[in-house]
Amino acid sequence: MSRPRNPQKPQNVTPLRTFADSADSAARPKRTFLTLAEFLAELDVPKSTFFRWKALGLAPRTYKLPNGQLRIRRSDFDAWLASREEEQAA
């Protein structure tokens, strides 16, 4: 006997960001700190890559909260990302 499907949307599912969301985000103020998940999503890299960068000293500065979660200051992230910009070939 099969159970009827629950028609309600699960409460713990975060919707995917779309291009329209990113265009709309310019009007919204940026948060001061990024969660690790936000950082990973913004760069589209796996968690293992981030921790390898961190071990090698290549990741942006992180802040560890009392609950063990990591945060990255938005200004540190922006500066870190800008420092990795490559020059255009002539």
- Summarised one tens digit per residue, pLDDT across range 42-79 is 999 999 999 999 999 999 999 999 999 999 999 999 99
Are the CB atoms for 28 and 67 separated by under 8 Å? Answer: no
Q: Assign residue 35 a region: left if phi > 0, alpha if psi is -120 to 50, beta otherwise?
A: beta
| pTM of this structure | 0.62
> Which position has the token pair 């009827």?
4
Residues facing residue 33 across a β-bridge: 73
pLDDT the model gives residue 31: 75
CA distance 38 to 41: 5
Residues facing residue 34 across a β-bridge: 72
